[in-house]
């Protein structure tokens, strides 16, 4: 995972932007040093002294020119060109600057070898070591430390060989100082490597978070589209059937769900009504729901026999659905002239018919197994429901029945029946809303774990 991230374009861009920051900071420091050296050079000339500062000014100008060229190179890579590959060469070249400065100081009469090797120029090695952390590569920081230590050690060895008498007069302390500086530079490089490694990890973590946030945002956008498409598959206006008041309602547990309800005008003046529940909820069941709805509408439009329609629908769903998916479905053909509804349930329940005149409920069992489980499943003859004025057929999915309270008690059929009974004189749409309000109050804040769907057919 880490290797993939470090090769990703996003990390490469972050690496290049960090390098731009590093080079920009280095240019600012070098420019400030150049200004200081020039001021000192002018001041020494004004006092009639030799211009010892000019070689240092020339060295700084060369360093500024190199860093400026490197900045242009990095910015080109940021904009369009491929990534750069001269990282190690840059580290080596940059650490040569303090080394050259030490050699110049060794040969400067006013400074000499003993003062040069303990001058502030030695501290400039640490500037490059510290800024090397912005390479976001612990190896480059260690390289900067090793090159700095090697450059300083080389300057010390040169001074000892060329000016032995001068350094011998300084005593043993000067040798201890030289050795200590080399050791500190080495340790500083490895410490900077640890810091660079941590910065790298934080950058990678930030990039992963940003990438995940972008993916989540895209997923949420796609889910919103899927949700709007699924809602568009549900009826938006109630059917106009003389003598009947019909309403349906659906609320998925996630952005999308596997439940649906539908009604469909047939050529002979009858109305097909359907409620279905695909196992599970989410985007997978939603896709299965769309397929089931399409098949059902096509079959009911051409197939007048409910048993044959269910057999054909089961066969198609068995071929299309994953093995772990199936559909419970109840469908009926409503004849408004006869006030009857022929009903078949494929594993779906509860199916409740409230008899207004008798103030009681009649329940209907399923006539076969859920759709999509077995290719050769058969279904018994439809049950014919006869409506009298005020009678109410309620087709609901198990999301209503199984929603639990904080005490882990299910809403159940008893409460469902009571809501219908209490609201028997109200419209079908009002009954659906009252069902939802009642189960919501009963749940007491517990999460909705399953889709909710209800279809009410009421004889007016």
Most confident of 36-50, 133-147, 251-265, 386-400: 386-400
Domain parsing of the chain, residue ranges = 2-215, 235-459
Give the pLDDT confidence score for residue 218 in this predicted structure. 79
Least confident of 1-15, 69-83, 138-152, 350-364: 1-15
Most confident of 44-58, 62-76, 108-122, 205-219: 62-76
Higher pLDDT, residue 327 or 163:
327
Higher pLDDT, residue 284 or 191:
191
Averaged pLDDT score across all residues of the chain? 88
Q: What is d(CA 249, CA 263) in angstroms, rounded to the nearest whole number?
A: 12
Which element (helix H / strand E) includes 259?
strand 259-265
Which element (helix H / strand E) includes 447?
none
Q: Does the structure show a pLDDT above 80 at 386?
A: yes
Q: What is the dihedral of CA 12, 15, 21, 27, to 10 degrees?
A: -90
What is the pTM (predicted TM-score) of this model?
A: 0.62
Question: Using only C-alpha atoms, what is the Rg of the chain?
Answer: 41
What is the mean predicted confidence (pLDDT) over 178-203? Answer: 90
Taking Cα atoms as reference points, which of 275, 284, 295 lies closest to residue 226? 284
- Confidence band, pLDDT 50/70/90 cuts, at residue 147: very high
**Residue 170 Cα distances to 106, 160, 166, 179, angstroms:** 15, 12, 7, 15
CATH H superfamily, domain 235-459: PPM-type phosphatase domain (3.60.40.10)
**pLDDT one-digit tens code per residue, 252-277:** 887 777 889 999 999 999 999 999 99
The alpha carbon of 269 is separated from its chain's Cα centroid by a whole number of angstroms, namely: 50
Q: What is d(CA 127, CA 274) in angstroms, rounded to the nearest whole number?
A: 76
- 379: three-class secondary structure by DSSP: coil
Q: What is d(CA 321, CA 10) in angstroms, rounded to the nearest whole number?
A: 39
Residue 350 contacts residue 396 (beta carbons within 8 Å): yes
């Amino acid at each position: 995972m880490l290797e993939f991230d470090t090769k990703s374009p996003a990390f490469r861009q972050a690496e290049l932007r960090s390098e731009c920051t590093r080079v920009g900071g280095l240019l600012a420091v070098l420019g400030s040093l150049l200004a200081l050296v020039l001021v000192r050079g002018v001041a020494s000339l004004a006092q009639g002294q030799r211009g010892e500062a000019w070689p240092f000014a020339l060295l700084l100008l060369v360093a500024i020119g190199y860093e400026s060229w490197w900045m242009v190179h990095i910015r080109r890579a940021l904009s369009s060109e491929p990534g750069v590959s001269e990282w190690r060469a840059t580290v080596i070249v940059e650490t040569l600057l303090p080394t050259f400065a030490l050699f110049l100081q060794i040969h400067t009469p006013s400074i000499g070898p003993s003062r040069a090797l303990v001058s502030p120029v030695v501290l400039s090695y640490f500037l490059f070591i510290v800024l090397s952390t912005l390479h976001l590569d612990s190896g480059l920081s260690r390289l900067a430390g090793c090159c700095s230590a090697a450059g300083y050690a080389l300057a010390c060895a040169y001074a000892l060989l060329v000016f032995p008498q001068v350094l011998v007069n300084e005593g043993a302390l000067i040798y201890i100082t030289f050795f200590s500086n080399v050791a500190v530079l080495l340790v500083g490089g490895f410490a900077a490597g640890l810091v660079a490694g941590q910065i790298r990890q934080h950058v990678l973590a930030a990039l992963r978070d940003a990438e995940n946030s972008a993916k989540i945002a895209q997923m949420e956008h796609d889910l919103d589209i899927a949700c709007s498409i699924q809602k568009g598959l549900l009826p938006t206006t109630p059917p106009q059937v003389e003598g009947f008041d019909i309403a349906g309602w659906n609320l998925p547990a996630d952005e999308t769900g596997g439940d649906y309800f539908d009604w469909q005008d047939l050529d002979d003046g009858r109305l097909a009504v359907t409620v279905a529940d695909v196992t599970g909820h989410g985007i997978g069941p939603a896709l299965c729901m769309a397929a089931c709805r399409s098949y059902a509408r096509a079959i009911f439009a051409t197939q007048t026999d409910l048993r044959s329609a269910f057999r054909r629908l089961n066969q198609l769903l068995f071929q299309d659905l994953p093995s772990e998916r199936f559909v419970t479905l109840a469908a009926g053909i409503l004849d408004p002239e006869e006030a009857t509804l022929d009903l078949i349930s494929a594993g779906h329940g509860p199916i409740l018919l409230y008899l207004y005149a008798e103030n009681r409920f009649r329940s209907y069992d399923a006539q076969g197994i859920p759709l999509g489980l077995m290719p050769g499943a058969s279904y018994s003859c439809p049950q014919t429901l006869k409506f009298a004025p005020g009678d109410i057929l309620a087709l609901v999915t198990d999301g209503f029945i199984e929603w639990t309270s904080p005490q882990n008690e299910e809403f159940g059929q008893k409460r469902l029946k009571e809501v219908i009974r209490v609201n028997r004189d109200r419209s079908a749409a009002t009954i659906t809303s009252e069902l939802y309000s009642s189960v919501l109050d009963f749940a007491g804040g517990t999460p909705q774990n399953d889709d909710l769907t209800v279809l009410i057919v009421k004889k007016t």
